[in-house]
Structure 1
Amino acid sequence: MNMLASRGQLRASFLRWALFLVPLCVLLGFLSGMFGSPNTAWFQGLEKPGIYPEPRWFGIVWTILYVMIGLSVALVASAWGARGRTAALSVFAVHFVLNLSWSYVFFGAQQISGALYLLVAIVLSLLVVMALFWRVRKLAAVLLIPYLAWVCFATALNYQFLQLNPDADGGNADGAVERVRI
């Protein structure tokens, strides 16, 4: 049975999704930051690229981006019956897991090159997400443009970190191996 929803019902559906997804995206972004931090001695010892912004900007920018991401996903999630909705949300979920794992790979595992490869996967999967979101709700894809710009900047920044600190890739600048016996 197909039913068309009124504008009020659609708006209410979007608001419910937004009230759930925006805080969820912000919370997951915050929690992913707990698995790796720029406050480590390893990161503090790295040579910083010229384009590296003041650290306080990262929290501000990511909070704004996670709000926009949550709104974008809410637009798609509230599009009940739209062709491609399920595929768009599924691909977004995979993409978001990639996004959330970057902090651990870069800061936690101290794998600069691994984080760079991950960022390339994040950018490529985000382009797919945007194309799928565009088919469901054009505004949802448009809301992701600043996020795309930021992850492209992050990719360039990560690349420059690797260029300036090739010996720091992998966590041990001196190449020493730490062994732990259990």
Structure 2
Amino acid sequence: MKRDLMLGALAALSVAAALVLGQIATFPNLAPWYAGLVKPSFNPPNWVFGPVWTTLYVLMAFALWRVLRSDATAGRRVAVALFYLQLLLNAAWPWMFFAAQSPGLGMINIAPQLIAILGTIVAFSRIDRVAGACLVPLAAWVGYATALNFALWRLNG
């Protein structure tokens, strides 16, 4: 029980750190920079991002916790490394897109980020199917975000 709590805290703190780092880069640049960009027709309203990302971060933490506490050792090190790679890319994207005010830099990050997420899903699924499934919504959202980032780059670059 104590081990599970410690692993849960590690997973939650890791994901929360990425969330906070992203918010630090995002919020100061929503207005006027992001608000002033030409947006594609499929750009969601700003209020959508908070609930979506909160849900995705909870799912990420839960998935990591399940893998960390799993008895399976084969492939766990690679799976956790892939998770932290995608989490690092996730935390870096707002700095490249929002803080640098550069959809082009965002594109440089988001494509490898999506590949890392897909690799993490495969690696997590080999250890724990539920953990892998928890990351599927993240892949779907980042796939959508990749298209959105590309459109913003093309419309404003």
Aligned Cα RMSD in Å?
A: 1.7
Alignment map for 1:19-30 (pairs within 5 Å):
19-30=9-20
Distance (Å, rounded) in 2 between the aligned partners of 1:135 and 1:45: 44
Pick from 131, 140, 150 the counterpart of residue 149 of structure 1: 140
Pick from 19, 27, 31 the counterpart of residue 21 of structure 2: 31
Residues 119-176 of structure 1, C-alpha deviations (whole Å, 9 max, x = no match): 100111111111111111111111101110000010011111012112xxxxxxxxxx
Report what 1:96 is aligned to.
87
Pairwise CA distance, 1:13 = 4.5
Pick from 18, 21, 29 the counterpart of residue 8 of structure 2: 18
Greater helix content = 2
Pairwise CA distance, 1:19 = 4.2
| 8 Å contact kept, 2:26–2:94 | yes
Structure 1 unaligned spans of 5+ = 1-8, 167-182
The alignment's TM-score, normalised by the length of structure 1, stands at 0.78
1:135 aligns with 2:149: no
Runs of 4+ in 1 over 4 A off after TM superposition: 12-16
Report what 2:74 is aligned to.
83
Residues 54-97 of structure 1, C-alpha deviations (whole Å, 9 max, x = no match): 10110110001000000000010001452111111112111110
Distance (Å, rounded) in 2 between the aligned partners of 1:124 and 1:86: 18
Give the 3-state SS of the residue equivalent to 1:36 in structure 2: helix
| 8 Å contact kept, 1:72–1:141 | yes
The alignment's TM-score, normalised by the length of structure 2, stands at 0.90
Q: Aligned partner of 1:25: which letter? A: V
Q: Aligned partner of 1:159: which letter? A: F
Distance (Å, rounded) in 1 between the aligned partners of 2:57 and 2:5: 16
Structure number with higher relative contact order (C-alpha < 8 Å, ≥ 6 residues apart): 2
| 8 Å contact kept, 1:65–1:147 | yes
Distance (Å, rounded) in 2 between the aligned partners of 1:106 and 1:49: 16
| 8 Å contact kept, 1:33–1:104 | no
Q: Aligned partner of 1:51: which letter? A: F
